[in-house]
Chain A
Amino acid sequence: MSRWLHERRGGRHFTFVVLGACLPVILTVSGCTTGSSEARKDLSARALLDFKTGEIILPLDAYDATTRWADFQSLQRATYLAVDECMVARGQRYTAAHIIDAPDTNIGDRLYGLWNVDYVRKYGYDSPEVQTNIAIAKDAEAGGDAWGAAWKTCYETTIPTEIRSLIPGLEEQRRSLVSRLRAEARSRAEADPGWAAARVPWAACLQKAGLEPHTDGWRSKQAQDMIMSENDVPTQGTQELSRIAYIEAKCNVESGLTQNLGNLEAGYQQPLIDANQAALNKVKEQAQQRLATAKAYIATHG
């Protein structure tokens, strides 16, 4: 959770108090065994901005199977196929299992605002519909409550255990070493003077283009107001919002906002990786096993 978000949402200052007290569990994660809050930074670490997929790839991403869109698609499809097989046996349909979403439905990462200019030029703040989501909605509507009951039975009790566990649940994500290290690196990056400094040229660029940087987050106030005023209406990209999105993305790239903040996070992730390499290698093996299981299942059931 970024510092600005804590301030905005209030009531979470307790978290910082706890962090400041350097809880033993945090110490374990950070290796801060002396009680020092000094954080090491690897200046050579970089975030990779993949303009094809829109993803911001950080060093820790190599250690889980859910961060990269393509990997997650494999986990998702295998799970959907297993559910569909069970649903069909119960006279229902789960057609999402047989739909492969096009790569451009991947919206990428907007951790630090819009930055993928080509994508934004095409879609503005929005993106194409996710066809699997639409298929699920249609099947659910057609099948009614019987469909919902069948889905629940299939997912919770019938599909193979190794498939049900492909997509990590809430608790697993909460407890994962990768998640904890990511959070620790993010916390350290936010405390780095470079974090606030990165906003300066980005904000100046927006102002030069006639936009007002929102006080928290990585968009203009104008875009924020438009998005929030939509109230339940999906963004379909009004001309003005598309124009603003393009300016925001251009300013993001010109000021190096996403690259700089990504580098900062990468710089704090790398020493944590080094300090936890043995444990992370095991985590990576498990992630690769998940992917292998998913791909094998798709190959035989897809």
Chain B
Amino acid sequence: MDRPIRVLVAKPGLDGHDRGAKVIARALRDAGMEVIYTGLRQTPEQIVSAAIQEDVNVVAMSILSGAHNTLLPKVVELLNAEGADDVLVVGGGVIPDDDIPFLKEKGIAEVFTPGTPTQVTIDYIRDNVANK
């Protein structure tokens, strides 16, 4: 790839726990990616519009409010509607294992649960952006 991977780190939903989002954002940046962080309380519409405007390869969403089943699929849906189906969408946060198959079915490529080393996320993004 000629240009660095561009990632939008986003906080959908109303929860204010942004430690994970910020740590991931820094780790991705330190790994050589270009990172844009949205800040809190982003609607799916706002996230998609930022993703398109910033022309990112990846949307990485962190959510700890329990609203993941509602909000994450909506982002994928809107991205597809905008023709941005080449964007890799990943999620993380307090997400029960039982919900992961549903999220994957809805187009969230991978879900990183508590305790995942940032390196795992970095490697995943590197490997899978290339494939898209």
Is the pairing of A and B real? no
